[in-house]
Structure 1
Amino acid sequence: MKRSHLNIALAVAVAGLGALLWFSREQDEVFPPLTPLAQDAITSIRIDHPEQPPIRLQKQDGRWRLVEPVEAPADEFEVASLVNLATLDIKRSLAVGDVDLAELKLDPPRYRITLNDIELAFGDTEPIEHRRYVRSGEQVALVLDPPSAALDADYSDLVAKALLPDGAEIRRIELPGLTVTREAEGGTWTSPEQPDAEPARIETLVQAWQKVRAMWNAKRPADAGDAGEPVRILLADGELNLRIVEREPQLKIDNPAYGVRYTVSKAELDKLTKLPEPTPSPTPTPSPTATPSTTATAQ
């Protein structure tokens, strides 16, 4: 056989083998999401870690709240990480009877998350693509490992980063060395320590407390006790008792009722603890000097 004919025959054979592999390759199987729940249908979430108190959240009037182990407004961004679990894509699915649950750390699981009444048991990650084993009912799914700290046993990440509830109406703030107050909504702000302070300066401090947000949260140390400087904020429908525990290098404020320590930018320290300096009065513009008349009086 001529060499050119041999090359053509080999090319045809290779092309045929490629076509065979193409048409006979196994197609990727498409799976339904991890749960049948729509994200907006989820109204309750429970997180269970071994030997830790359960963490429970409920959706109330369209907003998420922690209800266990403490009652507190929830961080909507962090809760979204939990809600997103409902529609996670499944990369591979196995029947429970086809796997060793103990080997996959699913018997017992590392932790459980219950969305409404659907329990998801989380196990180990597989070593190649680091996907997480999750048991739901009689299936074990491999999913992309959820990255959020909201899934761990420390609930502090789930507490809202805003130090005051949305729409809170402040009536009085008691700070170390400074108190500001007003008798009723729409009334004039005053300060016993600085009776001459303009209401607008006090309003600036009040707005700073209404808007302040933590950069991150941490669990308040169990031995914190009464450490720090007390801050009492009286609201129209309750009060908050906080404690300033650090001023350097960042501002740290405890909320003992929530068991949370907020880390706030140091740039907020003076805004939250002092009245702003008075606005300087404008310097009056001097009147132009009168020019004597040069017109001689006619004699």
Structure 2
Amino acid sequence: MNQRWRINLVLALVLLGLALAIRDELRQHHASPLLATIEPAQIQRVGLERDGEPPLEFMRAGTGWELRTPFRAPADTEHIERLLGVLAIPVRQSFPASGLELAPLGLSPPRVRLRVDAREFAFGATDPLQQHRYVAVGDLVHLIDDRAYHLLIAPLRDYVSARPLPADFVPVQGTLEGVGLTPESLDALPALSAERVEHDPEPPRGTALSLRAEDGRMLRFRLSEDQRSWRRLDQPLRYLLATTPRLATDPALAPLPEPTTSSAATGTDPFAPESRAMNEPVLPSDTLLGPPPEVRLGPERPSPEAGFGAEPYKRPPQGFGQDPFAPDPP
């Protein structure tokens, strides 16, 4: 009896294993395809075009992402990775685009265009019955779950990193209104994170903060009176901090050099020699002479001699044109 139970138990386990294997195979066979089979780590360029908004372009920069258009700024890598997650959404249904009217589906023109390297995804309206989103890819129109559209239409400030300082920028020297910052204040700056980032195209105003990294790179900010609003001079972004950082100064520390203006802006010659003293006379040899005057010499032409009648090459006879009745000269 025990032997029979053992045999039945083994057979039951074998049948259960076969059933599980068949179920997994059927599940894989009937699994919905993904919107795109692109490895996220291989993506180098991402572009977004939204109705009524400026186009956005991102480029991979090392381990993160950088905003390139409409201006250059460190991008929020986590937000970009969530945005690329739309490519892994399963497709519910697919239709040939040639047999559909694209305008009622919100695809002509599309509401959002997502460009991933060389591929383009056009996002339209939602299906009124099941609330699936229409997406045009090549010659097909797909229906997908509408769970990532809010990332596609997020405002520009959500795509920008909340840190005023780039991840690879470690300040070693800084000044606040020309007075040197203490090392303790510099050490706390890389950890700053803004509560909100706003697009600010207005000219920056406020207290001048200058920072220099070990590799010589410079960052310059304008701070509000309470030092909670930071505006970078090279970006139209304003970082609003939740807490005010402690920026202690020490007049004994060496100040940073002021930014130099380019020769094009000042109108000076970049190849000009060192400027001379105010009272030093200018010698003739120090001035640049202009080009010599041009003199054009034509070929010599003999003055024409008077001719006679229809034969201008002959001289008139002697006495021609004189009065024969005139008295002889004395």
> For residue 274 of structure 1, what is the aligned residue in structure 2?
248
CA RMSD of aligned residues (A): 2.8
> For residue 236 of structure 2, what is the aligned residue in structure 1?
259
What 5-or-longer segments of structure 1 have no aligned partner? 1-26, 181-201, 276-299
Matches within 5 A, 1:70-81: 70-81=71-82
Contact 1:231 1:242 in 2 (8 A): yes
Matches within 5 A, 1:226-237: 226-235=204-213, 236-237=215-216
One-letter amino acid of the structure 2 residue matched with residue 216 of structure 1: R
What displacement does 1:270 show?
3.8
What are the superposed Cα offsets for residues 158-208 of structure 1, whole Å, 9 maximum, x if unpaired?
A: 22222112232313222248422xxxxxxxxxxxxxxxxxxxxx3321122
Contact 2:83 2:148 in 1 (8 A): no
> For residue 122 of structure 2, what is the aligned residue in structure 1?
121
Contact 1:157 1:218 in 2 (8 A): no
What are the superposed Cα offsets for residues 236-264 of structure 1, whole Å, 9 maximum, x if unpaired?
A: 3321122223649xx22222422222221
CA distance in 1, matches of 2:103, 2:222: 46
What 5-or-longer segments of structure 2 have no aligned partner? 1-26, 250-330
Q: Structure 2 length as normaliser, TM-score?
A: 0.60
* Secondary structure of the structure 1 residue equivalent to 2:168: coil
CA distance in 2, matches of 1:274, 1:156: 30
What displacement does 1:100 show?
2.2
Contact 1:81 1:148 in 2 (8 A): no
> For residue 242 of structure 1, what is the aligned residue in structure 2?
221
> For residue 188 of structure 2, what is the aligned residue in structure 1?
208
Contact 1:150 1:158 in 2 (8 A): no
Return closer, same or farther for 1:79/1:177 CA change in 2, 3 Å cut-off. same
What are the superposed Cα offsets for residues 112-165 of structure 1, whole Å, 9 maximum, x if unpaired?
A: 010111100111223344332211112222223344765237433222222112
One-letter amino acid of the structure 1 residue matched with residue 186 of structure 2: V
Question: Which deviates the most, 94-103 or 239-248?
Answer: 239-248
Structure ID, larger Rg: 2
Return closer, same or farther for 1:101/1:53 CA change in 2, 3 Å cut-off. same
* Secondary structure of the structure 1 residue equivalent to 2:81: helix
> For residue 225 of structure 1, what is the aligned residue in structure 2?
203
Contact 1:124 1:132 in 2 (8 A): yes
What are the superposed Cα offsets for residues 14-55 of structure 1, whole Å, 9 maximum, x if unpaired?
A: xxxxxxxxxxxxx99643111121222211111122454431
Greater RCO, CA 8 A, separation 6+: 1
> For residue 19 of structure 1, what is the aligned residue in structure 2?
none
Q: Structure 1 length as normaliser, TM-score?
A: 0.65
CA distance in 2, matches of 1:44, 1:240: 26
Identity of aligned residues (%): 23
Contact 1:150 1:157 in 2 (8 A): no
Aligned length: 222
CA distance in 2, matches of 1:263, 1:109: 34
Return closer, same or farther for 1:215/1:270 CA change in 2, 3 Å cut-off. closer
Contact 1:56 1:66 in 2 (8 A): yes
Return closer, same or farther for 1:214/1:160 CA change in 2, 3 Å cut-off. same
* Secondary structure of the structure 2 residue equivalent to 1:91: strand
Matches within 5 A, 1:25-64: 30-50=31-51, 52-64=53-65
> For residue 86 of structure 2, what is the aligned residue in structure 1?
85
Contact 1:44 1:56 in 2 (8 A): yes
CA distance in 2, matches of 1:237, 1:128: 59
Return closer, same or farther for 1:85/1:209 CA change in 2, 3 Å cut-off. same
> For residue 111 of structure 1, what is the aligned residue in structure 2?
112
